[in-house]
Structure 1
Amino acid sequence: MNDNEKKKLLILGGNQYNVSGIQEARKADFFTIVADRNPQAPGLAEADIGLPIDLFDYEKLLKAIDGYGGVDGIISMAEAGVRPAAYLSKRLGLPSISQEAAANATSKAAMRHKWRKIGKYSVEYDVVNTEEQALQAINQLGRFPVIFKPDRSFGGARGVSLVDNKNQVHKAFLFAKSGALPNSNIVIERFVTGTEHSAEVLTWKGQSTVLCIGQKVKSPLPYRVDVSVQYPAQLAVQHEKVISDMCYEAIKALGLNQGIAHIEFVNTQNGPVLLELGARCGGGHTPQIAHHVSGVNEFIEACRMSCGIQPLQPKPTSKKGADYRFLIFPPGKIAGFSIPDRVQQHKNILDIGITLKTGDILKSLCTTSERAGYVVSIAGNRKEASEIADWTCKQVSITYDDGSISLPYNISNK
């Protein structure tokens, strides 16, 4: 776009992980207005205009937008902004998924209800609100293990855990409630054995295309946190076709007709099973990774679609390698950390960072909030990218207040 065509874009969310997306939007000639309730959010300073406003304070947001001459599109950077983006777009008459579709895509119970009609990609589940109901639901499901998760949360594996027996129900129920939004129910579903994956999917005018599929390494049970997402997933061509069909059915069932969807699923011996869907790009650096892997700049395409502009490149043109490796350290009080220059300057490291600061107390890994940092490695293929991430995990370290030093957990040592 040239200056005469520059579109005003309201970006909902401005945390550290959103900065690169905001920078990309500006490079692509969007005029960026970023809203985040945290006045210190780094994305506010990166935007053309920063609005320190809560995403759910709709009237204040609308007034601020109007003061700057309105916007042409609205995009959410994370789960928290999906419903506000749909609501504000409707109020302003902008292109968007419907409010009903946004509600479906932010409720794990609604997803399960809709997907049950598809049949073959679904799993047995129940929705409860008390511990007593949880025990009854488990009896109806018939066997352990099961997964407890909040119906509505802000993502990040908050409140998600596996339950092997009745003695674990109380702890899992309280954990699910602690990760849930106010008045949220709890979803209990049959645990599915297989390899977990995530797919980035572009939809325009009801037509969907899978851009790339990542393969996950998860945290030790009972929690379900991503430790690594590696691209491309090790899947046979015929399996990719089945997964593509499943993604299309999942998106259609929730009423999504445009934008990017981040779909998580398990590939089992009997085929793929849906876990959940986000009506937005995958979190953190996933859009940049998808760009490298697939050749499609999914975030910029999402920005274009939010303004009613047809995607420039809706289909993948490549299948390169990447590893989104999260830095996991033992618990303790942080006194400092080290990222050597040879790591920061490595040509195959897209980004690396420690999300802690001196004095922070790192807790045991239960949700994404306990991940201490990240490294994004890119290469021509998956193996090379993962080897670079493994090497990085041997270079980076954290120092604790007792003087001890730790390297991050390295999946290559499993």
Structure 2
Amino acid sequence: MKTVVVLGGNQMACPAIERLQQRGFRVVAVDANANAPARGVADQFVHQNFSDVAGTSAALADIAFVGIIPLSDFAIRAAAGIARERNLPGWNEFAELCFTSKVAMKRCWLDNGLPTPRCAFSTVAQLAAGHFPKWDSWPAVVKPSFSGGGSRGVFVARNWDEVQAGVNEVEKTYLDGDVVIEEFVRGTEHTLEVLISRGTPTLLSISDKENYPGSDTVVQRLHFPGSIGHSHRAALERLVFAACAAMRLTDGTTHFEVLISEDGPCLLEVGGRPGGGLNFHPICEISTGYDYPGLLAAVLTGDVPDFARKPSEHLVWHYFPRGEGVLQAIDGFKGIKDEPDVVDAELYEQVGKARLDLRNDLARPGYVLVRSKSAAQARERAARLVESVKFVTADAGDDTP
């Protein structure tokens, strides 16, 4: 039996781990949390912070395995470095740099003439000191070069005062100290999962994203497959395939964020791992018919991926609305997971604590993930389920959607 290592062991990693086991793999899960949910699912568990590349390599030294899969941005360096150490398929050093530095990523795309919003680069220290790059386009999106994903530290500013204040507030999320200041472009936003095998990319899925009302950075709904994105499939495919070539990608998978404006599609950013959470599994398999974990495991173990597809359905991943005040009770959530068309549902807010503030994707209240034979039915059903859950707060009573 072939053994693969999965870097990541939270609750959302468990379905993919189980899918890999169903495909005949022995799975070793690695996580910094000694009580990570994957501990009870994987065939073997290694308690190790995979942000520590040398420590992770040492922790895996006595384990024989044929592939290593990163499930988050924090796992990219370890997965890429250890794959190179063991002569396994994975990312080369240039690709690793592009995936762990938005500055390097943007420069690669710009040097290759690929469409991406105009940008400038700086550092937290330079901005704090009032040393600003040449820039005259407002509003602007301010991003950390590396934060670990989840829209951590991303905000929109209208002038340099707001840039300074915003960076000061979220400085701890700018892990390498580098800052990307990017032109704010309006359009529809989409995610794309692109698998690369021996240098050949394959587009697996396209989603449509909808942000929370009043937010330019935090997503409330995702639609799989995305009807808007698929209407531009040929252009999007050309764009992301060109980006893969520019970053010299050989073996692995990518999660692209793209925007379609009136001028056409452009690249926003990319991660060198599957889309977060349930994107890896089961979302991709339900919405496209592709066995995403099986495909990626095949690529990263040197095998040939089988792109056979099963019948697919539509999915809507709908997060609950935000609210104010201290949460006193949550009514109507119990039993939602048992509904036949509900793939999953979770609540992250806790009674007795303040409502989450949507500062990034990690501060959302919770979600329902609904499947249906039609996009309209999935959207309507997800909306009804979200509306059926009431968040009772100390200040305003029922905080309904």
Do both proteins adopt the same fold according to a TM-score greater than 0.5, normalized to the shorter chain?
Answer: yes
* 1:136 counterpart = 2:140: no
CA distance in 2, matches of 1:59, 1:270: 45
Counterpart selection for 2:28 from 7, 27, 33: 33
Q: 1:397 to 1:309 in 2, by over 3 A?
A: farther
CA distance in 2, matches of 1:237, 1:180: 34
* 1:265 counterpart = 2:258: yes
The one-letter code matched in structure 2 to 1:393 is: V
Asked if 2 retains the 8 angstrom alpha-carbon contact of 1:134 and 1:188, the reply is no
Counterpart selection for 1:381 from 374, 383, 386: 374
The one-letter code matched in structure 2 to 1:19 is: C
- How far has the Cα of 1:133 moved from its partner? 7.7
Asked if 1 retains the 8 angstrom alpha-carbon contact of 2:51 and 2:74, the reply is no
CA distance in 2, matches of 1:81, 1:72: 17
Counterpart selection for 1:114 from 108, 112, 133: 108
Counterpart selection for 2:11 from 2, 16, 21: 16
CA distance in 2, matches of 1:57, 1:169: 31
CA distance in 1, matches of 2:25, 2:64: 14
Aligned to 2:247: 254
Aligned to 1:3: none
- How far has the Cα of 1:347 moved from its partner? 1.8
> Structure 1: which 5+ runs fail to align?
1-5, 410-414
Asked if 1 retains the 8 angstrom alpha-carbon contact of 2:328 and 2:394, the reply is yes
CA distance in 2, matches of 1:403, 1:126: 43
Aligned to 1:404: 397
Aligned to 2:200: 207
Aligned to 2:88: 94
CA distance in 2, matches of 1:160, 1:61: 29
Q: 1:31 to 1:180 in 2, by over 3 A?
A: same
The one-letter code matched in structure 1 to 2:372 is: A
Asked if 2 retains the 8 angstrom alpha-carbon contact of 1:124 and 1:190, the reply is yes
Aligned to 2:38: 43
- How far has the Cα of 1:171 moved from its partner? 2.1
Larger deviation, residues 350-359 vs 200-209: 350-359
CA distance in 2, matches of 1:73, 1:342: 39
- How far has the Cα of 1:342 moved from its partner? 5.1
Asked if 1 retains the 8 angstrom alpha-carbon contact of 2:192 and 2:205, the reply is yes
Q: 1:301 to 1:134 in 2, by over 3 A?
A: farther
Q: 1:372 to 1:125 in 2, by over 3 A?
A: same
CA distance in 2, matches of 1:224, 1:360: 24
Number of aligned positions between the proteins: 398
**Identity %, equivalent residues:** 25
Asked if 1 retains the 8 angstrom alpha-carbon contact of 2:53 and 2:77, the reply is no
The one-letter code matched in structure 2 to 1:29 is: G
Aligned with 2:344: secondary structure? strand
CA distance in 2, matches of 1:106, 1:224: 20
Counterpart selection for 1:312 from 306, 310, 315: 306
- Give the CA RMSD over aligned residues: 2.3
CA distance in 2, matches of 1:88, 1:43: 21
Counterpart selection for 2:140 from 131, 143, 146: 146
CA distance in 2, matches of 1:134, 1:261: 36
CA distance in 2, matches of 1:289, 1:397: 26
Aligned to 2:49: 54
CA distance in 2, matches of 1:64, 1:174: 36
Aligned to 1:325: 318
CA distance in 2, matches of 1:119, 1:134: 31
Aligned with 1:305: secondary structure? helix
CA distance in 2, matches of 1:215, 1:145: 24
Larger deviation, residues 303-312 vs 165-174: 165-174
The one-letter code matched in structure 2 to 1:352 is: A
CA distance in 2, matches of 1:254, 1:335: 49
The one-letter code matched in structure 2 to 1:54 is: N
Q: 1:161 to 1:11 in 2, by over 3 A?
A: same
- How far has the Cα of 1:45 moved from its partner? 1.9
CA distance in 1, matches of 2:89, 2:229: 36
Structure 1 length-normalised TM: 0.89
Asked if 2 retains the 8 angstrom alpha-carbon contact of 1:260 and 1:298, the reply is no
Counterpart selection for 1:162 from 156, 169, 180: 156
- How far has the Cα of 1:27 moved from its partner? 1.8
Q: 1:303 to 1:237 in 2, by over 3 A?
A: closer
Asked if 2 retains the 8 angstrom alpha-carbon contact of 1:322 and 1:377, the reply is yes
The one-letter code matched in structure 1 to 2:172 is: S
- How far has the Cα of 1:109 moved from its partner? 0.9
Larger deviation, residues 186-195 vs 298-307: 298-307
Q: 1:236 to 1:157 in 2, by over 3 A?
A: closer
CA distance in 1, matches of 2:396, 2:352: 13
CA distance in 2, matches of 1:402, 1:236: 41
